[in-house]
Every structure is written in C-alpha cells, then in structure tokens.
Structure 1
Amino acid sequence: ELHLFRLWPKATDGPKRHHFCQVSVYQVLEKSEPDAPGGKKLLAARLVSLQGSGWEVFAITQAVRDWTEDESSNQGLLVTVQGLGGSPLDPPPLQFASSRDHHESKKPMLVLFTDDGRRGASLPMAGFPDLQPQAPLLPAKMSVPKPAGPRSTRSLDRLQPCQRHPLSVDFEEIGWSGWIISPRGYNAYHCKGSCPFPLGENMRPTNHATVQSIINALKLSDGVSSPCCVPDKLYSINLLYFDDDENVVLKQYDDMVAGSCGC
C-alpha cells in the first residue's frame, strides 16, 4: 500500500470551482519517457475530496510483485492529480506531503504485508514465552461466528476445564482499520471452561478463588458462584497507527493477549 498524506488545500481567490479531483498512481515502466505509450501502467485511481487533510491509501501490490521478481524494473511511481474528466489542473488544487519538505511523520510510506509461505505466522516466543508456537497469529480468513448450539453443547463446554482458546481479532471487522496501519489483526486468545471443586494446581487458582470454591461447594452462602476462568497472564503487542494529528506512531499496547488462564 502506498500511503500519501493529503495537505490542507491552499486558500484561493474567488469561488471554489472544484470539490473533488482524480488522483491516479502509475507504475513507471520507462523513466526517461513515462508519458510515452507504454511508459507507465495504471495501478490505482479514485476521486479525492479537496476538503480537509489526511492519509490516502492506494493499493500497488502488482508493482511490488514486479519489483520483487526483477529489482531492475523498479523505475518508481508517478502520482497525478487531474480534474473529474481527466483534464489538467494548473496549479493542482491538491498536494501531498513530500519527504523533503515536510515532517517525517507525514512523508510518503510504502507499507508491505509479507507472507513467509506458512499458513499462519507464529507468535514470537521471546516476547510470549508461554504461548503455543503452532497457534496462528494472523489467520488467512477470519472465522464467521456461529449461532449458539443446542443446550447439550453448551453444557459440554461448561464441563471442560478452564483453558485458553484462540480468539482471532480482525481490526477491519471491529472498525479499527481506519487508524491502525499494522498489523491487520492478531490472536488475542480468550479463557473458557469450568473451575470445579476442588481446584487443582493446574488451574492456577488464587487464594480467594480457593476459598470461594469451598464455600460454593458446601453451599455455605447463597448467591456465591464457582470461580471464573479468566486470564492470569497478559502480554502486549506493538501497533503502528495514526494519532489524532495524523502522525504515524509505533506504540506498545499492554494487556492485549491472554497468555494463560486460571481460576
């Protein structure tokens, strides 16, 4: 993806005649004559509002694939700004931040999503020592939630001991893809299962949970339920995102992944 920061339009004299313009991104095939026939290839084009500022994202996967196969074919990219009918605009009413004249946080970026050939990337063991290496971090396809099964299935779930289960989070599905650049999702995991009496050491119970489990089993107090299965270790992940001022920020967010579960 090519990320370009759209600057605030400059004030113009007289009434504004344009509200939108067409932005096109080309793969340059002939650097010496890009405007000649066969000198460039269109990768993406769309209408962009002339109001406000912010990041514009263009998919240029085909160009990156060509460059990966043949590095010498990388002649760069060409971005054009035209009127709605493709007519030239002089001067262009829309400008993008450049790496030379603007702050580093607003310079053009090429964001790559790589694939190492495996079906899912494993969580780094150094940062997540207790996580299972075979658990996929970014599944190829997010699972579709299924309706609740029959009562017998739910009862069976409650009989299963407290343990950790995968929980695939897709930032686009939860409405966060507008500000998170990378990753596109991650495995948050969640805790599910029963905490039956007596609580064994494998349940990693707290002292409070042990006492509550005894009171629940002996029915010494009304309304006291059995302990709950919850995360007892949480890990952080790094997010690359846009802040309120449209700056690109890399930040570590704590308590985003359930590392293990207990009662």
Structure 2
Amino acid sequence: MAGGRPWLRLRLTRLLGLAWLLGLTELAALPLAAVPRDEVQAAALQRLREVFDIEELPPDVLPRKKPPQFMVDLFNKVADANGITRAPGLLEGDVVRSFEDRAPVEQDRFFFDVSAMERGEQVLKAELRVFKLRRRRVARRADPRHFCKVEVYELLEGGSNPQKKNLIASRLLSLYSEGWEVFNVTQTVSKWVGSINSNHGFLITATHLLSNRIEHDLVAFAKGQGNLQESRNALLVLFTNSNKRRSSSFVPSSTKLNPAKNDALLRVPRESKSRTPWAAAVPSSRSQVTACHRRELYVDFHAIGWSGWIIYPSGYNAFYCRGSCVFPLGESQNATNHATVQSIVHTLKLSQDVSTPCCVPDELKSLNLLYFDDKENVVLKNYKDMVATRCGCH
C-alpha cells in the first residue's frame, strides 16, 4: 500500500492541474486528499466533451470501418495534417455529415438515415453522390442511342413497391461513362430533417432517349458494403451550421495552468534553458522574468481514449501563452494601448489595485475533426478558436 500512495498522489496532482485548465476551479480549489481521483477525471473529461460539443462518446469503430474517400479528401482540403484550418471560408458551414446508403443491395432504391442530425442544425446544402458504373459494350459517343436520361425521385411512401414519388433532378448521361454523379437534394433533405417519418429514400431511373422507356438494367450505380465497392457506395452529404456557441476556454491562459501539474492528455514541454529572456524587462533583485510568449500544449486523443472514433487528427497542438507583461512593453508582445497604459500605471504605482497586464492568446485558429458519430456516420466538424497562434499582453 505504501508503495502505491506516492503514485496516486502524483496522479491526483496532475488531474488537479487538468481541472484548473478546463475551468473546474471548484474541484481544483479543494485539498488534494479531499478530491477523489475518479471524480476529477470524470469532471475534466465531461468538460472536454462540452468543448467538443459531444453529448455521448461514440463507440470505437476504428480500424473496423474505412471512411468514405470523399470525406478524407475534404478534410485534407480544408485542414493540414494537424487539423488546423488552412484558410477561412473553404468549408460551407461548420459541419459536414456523410450518410452511407442503407438500402438492401438487391433494391434499386437508396436510403439514408439522417436521424443523427442535431436539434437546431441548419441544412445549407445536401448532395446525393452516386457512382455510375461503365457498361461493357463500346459504342460511338455521338450516337444518340448511347445516351440516357437519368432521373432522381423522392419516394413518398414506404413498402416493397412504392408508387408515389416526386421528381427532384434529371440529366443526360452517356451509357458508357463511369464516375461520380452529384445531385442537389437540399430541399428534400431539409424536409426529412424536420420530419424524419417522411424519409422513404430515393429512386433513380434511366430512360432510353430513343425508346423513351424506363429500363431497369440500362444504368447501374454502385451499391453495397463489399471491400471492392465500399469506396464507391452511395453517399448523402450534408453541409450544415450547428448554430451553437462553442467555448474557447480550451486554449488556456497563463493564470489557468501550472506546468508542473499535467497529465498525458496535455503534454506541456518545459521551458528551454537556452531561451533568451526579454532584454527590455525591468530589472529586479530576482532572476530575470521571461516575456509573454507562446508555448506548446499538445492534446493527445489516444491518451484520453478518443482515438477509436476520431479519424483525423490523432492529436493537435493547442498552444498556450505564458510570461510577464511588465513595462516597457515591446512590439513583440502585441500589446494593446490599454495594456500599455495599465503597465505604466502599475510601474509608477499610481494605483495599488492595478496589476500588470495578462499574457493571453492574441490570435486563434479553428480546428477540424474527422470522426465517426454514434451511428458510424463520418462527420467533419470545424471548431472555432481552438489553437493559439499568437500571444499578446492584454
């Protein structure tokens, strides 16, 4: 027992540091021995779920399931390898949801379960993405016999042989082309989100241009979850706005983090001994204080047990700000005019209640996560103000 107590005390100390970081001051303020380890850990992880807007953790699905290539390509387009947004405005909305076809392989219908949509989520655009397979027979492109009209219908009733349907989109396609076809189905899907029971799926038909007849074997679209066809399975892709205000408190200030108290969740490297202190700092009898600057703060999703459902990234560097904001404030400290005046008032002791300005994030970037939700749909979500890219005195 005696050999385990120092380890337990160290673990509790680290968890208390995490509690301070996530704003759980009511727990972190308690005496160390009075805080149960499990309680601190549960509270900290619950706060982290709130920051990432996750009500319940999805089940681990990796590496059992391969994400749609379209979603992987979209993530790589809008974010770097660490999930940091490449440029604002590349993503329409802040959430992209993909739903794979759930209709039986033998049916020519397509069904997508959109019940995973959150309350209040606004659909900006919905795309039906289907992969058209090439017919084997070769023919001349200019021959009208080798073109067809493809029509997409919303099914208005269920059952094995529904008759009522509503035309959504149509276009001419070559019988011998192959590739992804994308249809705008925003209006239909918006209706489904408002009334889940109205969702009976899509029907795609092909009509020969000369005979003007629907032929079921005229055009084939990829279906099924087989290894060869999985990347070609039909997708319903929704671009949405979550309409939720997300907390930016995940990026800590120097007043919330004690670097001596950190867990595997947050890896904070120690200050390099070779770092040069701010030369313009006011001399004091104590050792020279390091000026306000940015330090590394790595969030490891594997360490907190989230790696089984988060596809990309495996973790990210949130960074945090630490250091002094004493007079005189240099250009490198990105000080506001207010902070400059405050530092002068503090230095001249014109008021006993005025402290030095705080070293805080001065510029923030958003983070993108690609992950499986609780129904194994792949979601790309953008979180604002998650990475401190610059620090300043405020």
TM-score w.r.t. the length of structure 2 is: 0.31
**Which structure's residues are more often helix, by fraction?**
2
Greater relative contact order (Cα 8 A, min sep 6): structure 1 or 2? 2
TM-score w.r.t. the length of structure 1 is: 0.43
